[in-house]
Amino acid sequence: MILLLKDTITPNELNDLKNLLDDKKLRYRHLLLNLKQLFIIYKTPQNFESESMISLPCVESIIAIKEPYKLASKQWQKHPTQFDVKGVNIGGGAFNMIAGPCSVENEDQIFEIAEFLHKHHIRFIRGGAYKPRTSPYAFQGLKKEGLKLLRKAADAYNLNVVTEVMDVSLIDEVSEYADIMQVGSRNMSNFYLLSHLGKIQKPILLKRGMAAKISEWLMAAEYILSGGNEKIILCERGIRTFDDTVRNMLDIAAFPIIKELSHLPVFSDPSHGTGHRDRVIPMALASVAAGCDGLMIEVHPNPENALSDGPQSLYPHQFESLLPSIKTMLHNTGRTMDCEIKEQLV
């Protein structure tokens, strides 16, 4: 349950509330979020009487939430989460696209893609500077130099940067260059990292773990929310199954399920969700039809020579051909595209 505290609460009243919770054997079972003026009681003993809480002068209201994820739940916040990234709306009915190469490889490559995205009024460029790879011998990214190139290209073409943060030690460095910080599939359950990302106010794109249940994915978001950071984008990127026909199995059902359970915006990554460029476009459109709030798609000027994920990267002309279809699909589902893209496609 969540105790919503009054703005007028005094230090003495707060201390009395803490003592009362301890007396009711709730020590270690509650969390105070000072920035939001609320207490989260995440485990209650039998015969707990919430009526005694509401009678306190410092408590505004009590919201009972049965799910283990409290702040990510639609029971806590009924209206969709919406926030602004340098003038671009995320969530709340807005539809956005994030595109770019898997990895930043060199200045010519990233500037070519940045110019292409700007031409088509895409506002977010993606690119990995630190790359978590299965093999220690695979390309690991240009690291800080990659961040600098990504930021330089984004600034030159009025784009926002989306890039991955792999470790707590890199938060400050990546935050300096990124507008949205991505948590990759391998780090969805890195709760120490998630807790630290909850302490900053930079938007976080949280990818679903490759074997994660939806409830586990939402609990990962809860770590960030409970730290005070409400700017979260969930990203479905496919889950690992027994079938090796595709790299991952993109879970189209996740989009309506997330809309049912949570207020957080949810994007689709059909590039990782399929692993093959010929399947990216149909799965992107299927995701839009299923209600996703945005797409993250890998685009590379020369996929055959890409240093990572070339087979799943679209050629620029393929990405270009996808845009009118997205507009049509959004229109058919009664939604609107981000104004910058809409202007280009009308």
Residues 30 and 118 occupy one common structural domain: no
pLDDT of res. 170: 97
Residues 237 and 331 occupy one common structural domain: yes
pLDDT of res. 342: 46
Q: What is the CATH number of the domain that holds 268?
A: 3.20.20.70
pLDDT in tens, 159-214: 999 999 999 999 999 999 999 999 999 999 999 999 999 999 999 999 999 999 99
Domain boundary among 36, 63, 90: 63
How many structural domains are present in the chain?
Answer: 2
Mean pLDDT across the stretch 132-150? 88
Residues 38 and 132 occupy one common structural domain: no
Decide if 22 is inside a domain: yes
Per-residue CA distances from 92 to 106, 179, 251, 293 (Å) = 36, 19, 22, 9
Residue ranges making up the domain that contains 112: 82-345
Q: What are the φ/ψ torsions at residue 47 (nearest 5 degrees)?
A: 65, 20
Residues 216 and 316 occupy one common structural domain: yes
And the tokens for 216? 């586990």
Decide if 146 is inside a domain: yes
pLDDT of res. 261: 97
Exposure string of 303-328, with b = 16+ CB inside 10 Å and e = fewer, is: beebbbbbebbbebebbeebbeebbe
Decide if 190 is inside a domain: yes
Decide if 68 is inside a domain: no
Residues 54 and 167 occupy one common structural domain: no
Q: Of 219 and 134, which is predicted with more confidence?
A: 219
Residues 120 and 245 occupy one common structural domain: yes
Domain boundary among 12, 32, 63: 63
CA dihedral 32, 33, 36, 39 (to 10 degrees): -30
Decide if 71 is inside a domain: no
pLDDT of res. 333: 79
Mean pLDDT across the stretch 245-257? 94
Sheet holding 30-33, edge to edge: 30-33, 38-41, 2-5, 59-63
Q: What are the φ/ψ torsions at residue 307 (nearest 5 degrees)?
A: -80, -10
Name the residue type at position 143: K
pLDDT of res. 28: 54
Residues 189 and 303 occupy one common structural domain: yes
Residues 58 and 151 occupy one common structural domain: no
Residues 51 and 126 occupy one common structural domain: no
Residues 57 and 163 occupy one common structural domain: no
Residues 56 and 157 occupy one common structural domain: no
Decide if 39 is inside a domain: yes
Stated pTM of the model: 0.90
**pLDDT at 26 > cutoff 80:** no
Residues 140 and 57 occupy one common structural domain: no
pLDDT in tens, 45-99: 655 666 667 777 888 888 888 888 999 999 999 999 999 999 999 998 899 999 9
